[in-house]
Structure 1
Amino acid sequence: MKPQPAKNTVSSYIIQAQEQELKRIALELHEGVGQTLYSLYTGMQLIETTVDQSMKGYMEDMTQLMEKTIQEVRLLAVELHPPTLTTLGLLSAMKTYLKLYTSTYGIEVEFNVSGDEVDLPEKERITLFRVCQEALNNIAMHADTTQASITFAWKTEGLFISIHDFGKGFEVETAMKQSTGLASMIERMDLIGGSCSISSKVKDGTAIEFSLPL
């Protein structure tokens, strides 16, 4: 009987295949759709300067709508696969993502870093970006807050990431049974030999801790 691959190996293969597809879509969004929208945006700005007063308000509304759409496409492309993650590293990718995140959701994120960044393998970089992304998306969707913080602590023994929000919180045990996002963070960290802990209290915010041995 042919031996079956381990569950973790299968999960790893699936995630890698998904990441390759996300990278391809992100590139098409950025270089295709994004560039086309920007060309339309600059064209509308030019037209806005030439139309009469009766059309000016309408053109201003359309230009603002186009600008908002471009911003959303940029965020989507970065969410799918930030280009700086491969070229400049994890911290640079997070800084780019947080700027777009704040401008899109209106949530101010305090970003703190201690220690010197270590050049991680691509698989680990992608995993850490994804779990941070999932945690931040949960804040935007469920926390009902305008403030959050994220800390990267590079130490000799490992990388430690803390994400805190000051929102309404939740019952962790109940949420773990209902949220695939929370479970996926734990599974992704497990696949790279790391760990994830989640603590929250109703009306008292949420804290998520990731750790990865170096």
Structure 2
Amino acid sequence: MRDTSEIYFTIVLATIFFLVLVAVVVTAVWRYYYRKRAHEKTLMEFDHTLLQSRLEIQEQTFKTISQELHDNLGQMLTLAKLNLNTLNLADSDKSKEKINGAIDLLTQTIQSIRDVSRNLHADIISKIGLVQALESEIRIIEKLGILHPVFLVEGQPVPLETDKSLIIFRIVQEALQNVVKHAQATMLEMRINFAPDEIKLSIADNGKGFDWAQSKDKGSGLRNMNDRARVIGAQFEMQPAATNGTVITLTIPNT
């Protein structure tokens, strides 16, 4: 009888051990597939955000080029043509002045065409890096003449992955567009600080501030910037400035 009880006890104990082992294995397998699916979802989200950022940067580039051709290049070529058309060869001094003026205009036009050609390059960020790409964006805003932009770089720039740089650039591009279109600002300061553990990028203006709640488009823009920041593991914040205007801060950990 005692032997039988011991056998039953052993069987029950073995069964419990087996069930616990099965539960542990099933849980481990489930956790593995759950993490795998979560990782795949994160990669898909990153790829989607990257593709969307590329398309939006290209669209914005074409808009900028179109505006440059219409407002700048066309005007300079027209002025150069007028200078040459009104030449009076009998008056050598005035003719020389007009020719020199036309040469200056054509020189500026050539430089503008080079800038346009550089912006057309699909891999501009991978070629010149994030800092120079941001500086180029500031120069574009400066040419508009709407406000006075300042770009500051602090610390030693560190190389970033091209895909991450592209998404950061698109966040900045959208933030700058919002300042130009909606803030009614006269001053803008973009500052990028390279620290050992993080990169902090801030955009401050002295405008009226943004009322995102009252604008569907603006709210969508804010969500887009926030979502893009989350995809690359960055933190996005938008706060009122100390006096007036708005400060946008993007904090990217160095990983």
TM-score where L is the length of structure 2:
0.60
Cα deviation, residue 91, structure 1: 0.8
State the AA in 1 paired with 2:140: L
Report the CA distance shift for 1:119/1:145 in structure 2 as closer, same or farther (over 3 A): same
Cα deviation, residue 174, structure 1: 5.5
Q: Is 1:211 aligned to 2:251, yes or no?
A: yes
Q: Is 1:112 aligned to 2:152, yes or no?
A: yes
The residue matched to 1:162 in structure 2 has which SS? strand
Give the structure 2 partner of residue 135 of structure 1: 175
The residue matched to 2:85 in structure 1 has which SS? coil
Picking from 91, 113, 117, the partner of 2:131 is 91
Give the structure 1 partner of residue 83 of structure 2: 49
State the AA in 2 paired with 1:155: A
Identity over aligned residues, as a percent?
20
Give the structure 1 partner of residue 161 of structure 2: 121
Give the structure 2 partner of residue 15 of structure 1: 49
Matched residue pairs, number?
A: 192
Give the structure 2 partner of residue 188 of structure 1: 228
State the AA in 1 paired with 2:176: L
Structure 2: distance between partners of 1:185 and 1:175: 16
Q: Unaligned regions of 5+ residues in structure 2, if any?
A: 1-36, 88-104
The residue matched to 1:89 in structure 2 has which SS? helix
Equivalence map 1:23-42=2 (5 Å): none
Picking from 183, 196, 199, the partner of 1:156 is 196
Q: Which structure has the greater CA radius of gyration?
A: 2
Report the CA distance shift for 1:171/1:49 in structure 2 as closer, same or farther (over 3 A): closer
Structure 1: distance between partners of 2:196 and 2:245: 30
State the AA in 2 paired with 1:131: I
Q: Deviations over 1:140-186 (max 9, x none)?
A: 01111110111111000110011111011134666689521111111
Report the aligned-residue RMSD.
4.2
| More moved, 41-50 vs 107-116 | 41-50
Q: Unaligned regions of 5+ residues in structure 1, if any?
A: 54-63
Structure 2: distance between partners of 1:199 and 1:126: 24
Structure 2: distance between partners of 1:23 and 1:168: 27
Structure 2: distance between partners of 1:105 and 1:194: 32
Structure 2: distance between partners of 1:176 and 1:79: 31
Give the structure 2 partner of residue 58 of structure 1: none
Contact conserved, 1:161 with 1:211, CA < 8 A, in 2?
yes
Structure 1: distance between partners of 2:180 and 2:174: 10
State the AA in 2 paired with 1:12: F
Structure 2: distance between partners of 1:140 and 1:23: 17
Report the CA distance shift for 1:8/1:149 in structure 2 as closer, same or farther (over 3 A): same
Structure 2: distance between partners of 1:8 and 1:114: 32
Structure 2: distance between partners of 1:122 and 1:44: 40
Q: Deviations over 1:119-159 (max 9, x none)?
A: 00011111111111111111101111110111111000110
Contact conserved, 2:50 with 2:166, CA < 8 A, in 1?
no
Contact conserved, 1:113 with 1:152, CA < 8 A, in 2?
yes
State the AA in 2 paired with 1:181: G
Equivalence map 1:52-67=2 (5 Å): none
